[in-house]
Amino acid sequence: MLPSATSPEAAVIGGGPAGLIAAEVLARAGVAVTVYDRMPSVGRKLLMAGRGGLNLTHSEEFARFVARYAEARPQLEPLIEAFRPEDLRAWCEELGQETFVGSSGRVFPKAFKASPLLRAWLSRLEILEVRFALRQSWQGWDEEGRLVFTDAAGKSMRAKPDATILALGGASWPRLGSDGTWVELLAQRGIAVSALRPANMGFTCPWSEIMRSRFAGEPLKRIALTFQGATVKGEAIVTQDGIEGGAVYALSARLRDAIEQDGSALLHIDLRPDLSPESLLRKLDTPRKGQSASTFLRKAASLSPVGIALLREASPALPAEPEALARLIKAVPVTLTGAKSLERAISTAGGVPFSELDEHLMLRRIPGVFVAGEMLDWEAPTGGYLLQATFASGIAAARGVLASLQIPDAALTLEPSSATRQS
């Protein structure tokens, strides 16, 4: 149903995936929607996510999937139940972007980028007569309760829609548009926003000069990281001043919290997680035949030069006894001294707490104003969990608007295809 002159009006502030999906749900139900964004174009962070292949969601079993949201699981599970990973895949495929499950169980569009999906999506929104007001930076409300926006020249514009969805994102990668300035605007209205903190970010550690100059940028492949009893297999990358990458991000919430509390965190890296300590020991317990330590480790334990350098960082004089060497390779200690800043983090922890919202994601203190996406107080590892919760919360907020305006919901997607529907 397309909007008419008498349709109720909604403002969606923020044209990321949360705002755009909310706009789609509202427009399909016949609401006249305007999407406001401070940037000259929408979906910039989505496009950036596309540079890494656009990990849309994950194919793992539902209970395991929702457990990734840790403390926010009780609030997010019903939203994700209402828009499940297979629904996201079906929606994407309806826009002409086939999806596939990678070897890790992660789901990607076959195009392995976001631009074709975003293009098709924006065309659909155009057909649904969604309006876009770009280069409009939201400044809060005036004394009459109207939304206030300013453009780059400082000219201001006001709007008084029937309902508003805030989908302003977190504060990572601020050059893409989301910078967390909304925190102050909500605080002025008495909303207790949890401090924004980096999530899925790298860490600093005091590498030696040789590690910095020779190994920055080198990947540590097929490793396992252990911290506080949690072990994650994957990859990491040595940086100039620390370490980053998928396996690090997976432990980043615990590491960040430990560093905040204790000033540092001791991470252990298993350079050969595929080998039991006994098998590794058998490989190391052979004559060195005059080989240098590096050559021996490369040949006997198949360690990469960066792996060997990591051993030397932990123990400059490498242990001569095979048992001690095997122990070190299975658990190289690395002391992390700081978390990388929010500006370079993949995502943001903190935000609007669920306690400030009703079950439709409406702010209890500001009736008619709903919140969605990364600006809500939840965090999750990489793996598609960020976009899944972003989409699901955008849809939930839009349905909340429809309920408040007493407008029936129009179905968002076709039934998921049998190829993507899982048990």
Ligand X SMILES: Cc1cc2nc3c(=O)[nH]c(=O)nc-3n(C[C@H](O)[C@H](O)[C@H](O)COP(=O)(O)OP(=O)(O)OC[C@H]3O[C@@H](n4cnc5c(N)ncnc54)[C@H](O)[C@@H]3O)c2cc1C
Q: Which residues bind ligand X (CB under 6 A)?
A: 13-19, 36-39, 42, 44-46, 48-49, 52, 54-55, 137-138, 167-169, 172-173, 177-178, 181-182, 346-347, 373-374, 384, 386-387, 390
Nearest to 384 by CA among 92, 74, 122: 92
Nearest to 93 by CA among 48, 56, 51, 126: 56
Is the Cβ of residue 16 or residue 85 nearer to ligand X in the bound state?
16
How far is C-alpha 194 from the chain's CA centre?
17
In whole angstroms, how close is the CB of 252 to ligand X at the nearest point?
Answer: 13
In whole angstroms, how close is the CB of 79 to ligand X at the nearest point?
Answer: 13
Is the Cβ of residue 150 or residue 226 nearer to ligand X in the bound state?
150
Nearest to 379 by CA among 128, 237, 200, 156: 200
DSSP of 324-348, one letter per residue? Answer: HHHHHHH-EEEEE-EEPPGGG-SEE
231-238's contacts with Cβ under 8 Å and 24+ in sequence apart are 231/270, 233/273, 236/269, 238/207, 238/211, 238/306, 238/310
The DSSP element (H or E) to which 13 belongs, if any, is: strand 9-13
Is the Cβ of residue 47 or residue 259 nearer to ligand X in the bound state?
47
Cβ within 8 Å of residue 179, ≥6 positions away: 171
Distance between CA atoms of 87 and 92, rounded to whole angstroms? 8
In whole angstroms, how close is the CB of 389 to ligand X at the nearest point?
Answer: 8
Is the Cβ of residue 181 or residue 264 nearer to ligand X in the bound state?
181
In whole angstroms, how close is the CB of 55 to ligand X at the nearest point?
Answer: 4
In whole angstroms, how close is the CB of 390 to ligand X at the nearest point?
Answer: 4
Is the Cβ of residue 7 or residue 348 nearer to ligand X in the bound state?
348
Is the Cβ of residue 15 or residue 400 nearer to ligand X in the bound state?
15
In whole angstroms, how close is the CB of 414 to ligand X at the nearest point?
Answer: 23
Tokens at 419, concatenated: 């190829």
